[in-house]
Amino acid sequence: MPNEPSKADVPGHITANSRVKSISKILDKPSLTLADYHQIGATLGELSRDPKVAVHGSGWKEHVAKAVGTSPSTLNKSLQLAKLYKSGTLGELERTNAKWGLINIALTIKNADKRHKLLRNAVAHGWSDMDLRKHIQKQRGRLRGGGRKRRSFTSHGLQADAHTLVSQLTTIEKYYEQVWEPSQDGYRKEVSRPGEEARVEVAELLTQLGDQLDRVIELLGQVAGKVKDYRDRITVGESARSRPRTRTRRQ
């Protein structure tokens, strides 16, 4: 009986795989067509059936993305495109004249006619990727009767609120250490690859992220000041309680 494929062997199999090399060759083009993205998705589908590559729990798609110098998101969207459109059936989608950034957002719409109509509308009105995403979110909210409102935050006292902040900050710290920092080489390849239309969406998203980080950093500075103040008050209070009381004599 042959040995089961090992997770540790997956990166080596991916590096040597001819299908992975064909994806890399497509991505090296100065600009990509819709047919190129479809071919990437179809090839990724073939890789998903390769027992030496698609080993469960190995993170094989992330390994492929790293090997070809793109993001797992681009690969997943290309795969989604290939699943929704059989080879040779891209004509109606191409006639929307929508760029890849808009298309990969619209792929979440299951009905093809509605998807194409929305893309034509987005192109006609000059929508950005963010505009289209917000429009889809708004439409889904209407279809769900307004959608479930986000639960507003309420205070439960200093100890509980401080615990919540510790939990949230720990999550961000772990995401940075486990995802963001180890992915820097891949990120640099993504932003240096010419002609990939998805980079327009990424640039817009990074601008939004930068603005939000500036606001959060300012807020965290204020939180740090309050934390120090409350900690000092507790320390002073404890010192006062531990000090022996002296009785005053009556005259």
pLDDT tens for the chain, 251 residues long, are: 456 677 888 888 898 999 999 999 999 988 899 999 999 999 999 999 989 888 888 889 888 998 998 888 889 999 999 999 998 899 999 999 999 889 989 998 989 999 999 999 999 999 988 889 888 888 776 545 445 556 678 888 999 999 999 999 999 999 899 888 888 887 887 777 655 555 666 777 788 788 889 989 999 999 999 999 999 888 876 666 666 665 555 55
∠ CA(175), CA(68), CA(196), 5° rounding? Answer: 90
Q: Which residues contact 220 (CB under 8 A, 6 or more apart)?
A: none
What pLDDT digit, counting tens, does each position of 143-197 carry?
A: 454 455 566 788 889 999 999 999 999 999 998 998 888 888 878 877 776 555 5
Q: Quote the CA–CA distance of 130 and 189 in Å, as a whole number.
A: 23
- Direct distance between the N- and C-terminal alpha carbons of the chain, in angstroms, rounded to an integer: 101
Q: Is the pTM of this model over 0.75?
A: no
Query: Residue with structure tokens 């120090």?
Result: 228
Q: Please answer whether residues 116 and 210 qualify as being in contact, where contact means their C-beta atoms are separated by less than 8 angstroms.
A: no
Pull the structure tokens for residue 29. 């083009």
pLDDT at 1: 42
Q: Quote the CA–CA distance of 87 and 42 in Å, as a whole number.
A: 9
